[in-house]
């Protein structure tokens, strides 16, 4: 006959094994996922939050993603968000609209943002602890 400890351990094992998520899947809710259009971006992987797109930045305020992330207290991650460094938008209002995806660009963090006719950017930054 199993002891109380063995029964408790078996119950705990089944609870964790049958749970809908692992204990560290959401990093205790600390990660900021970029959303369903960007799988793996800003999610918890092996207990660590992956880089995610930061706040919108206006063309008149910054020239590189390194500057954008630094202003947010973080560090830019070159091609760290699904293989891209930033998402660019024609106007700031579109950048602030969560339903708009923008155009994803692979670029070095320290190179100037390729603005062309665009006015706003979201850069790929490490998530702060």
pLDDT tens, N- to C-terminus, the chain (129 residues): 555 555 444 444 433 344 344 444 569 889 999 999 999 999 999 999 999 999 999 999 999 999 999 999 999 999 999 999 999 999 999 999 999 999 999 999 999 999 999 999 999 999 976
Q: Tell me how many domains the chain contains.
A: 1
pLDDT for 26: 63
pLDDT for 25: 59
Residue 2 Cα to chain centre, angstroms: 46
pLDDT for 128: 77
pLDDT for 17: 40
Which distant-in-sequence residues (6+ apart) come within 8 Å of 108 by Cβ? 78, 85
Q: Domain containing 22: what range?
A: 4-125
CA 31 – CA 26 distance, rounded (Å):
7
CA 89 – CA 122 distance, rounded (Å):
8
């Amino acid at each position: 006959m199993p002891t109380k400890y063995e029964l408790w351990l078996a119950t705990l094992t089944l609870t964790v094994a049958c749970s809908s998520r692992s204990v560290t899947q959401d990093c205790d809710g600390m990660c900021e996922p970029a959303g369903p259009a960007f799988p793996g971006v800003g999610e918890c992987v092996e207990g660590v939050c992956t880089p995610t797109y930061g706040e919108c930045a206006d063309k008149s305020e910054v020239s590189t993603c390194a500057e954008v992330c630094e202003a947010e207290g973080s560090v830019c991650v070159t091609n760290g968000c699904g293989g891209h460094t930033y998402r660019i938008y024609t106007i700031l209002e579109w950048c602030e609209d969560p339903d708009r995806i923008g155009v994803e660009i692979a670029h070095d963090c320290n190179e100037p943002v390729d603005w062309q006719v665009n006015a706003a950017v979201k850069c790929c930054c490490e998530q702060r602890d």
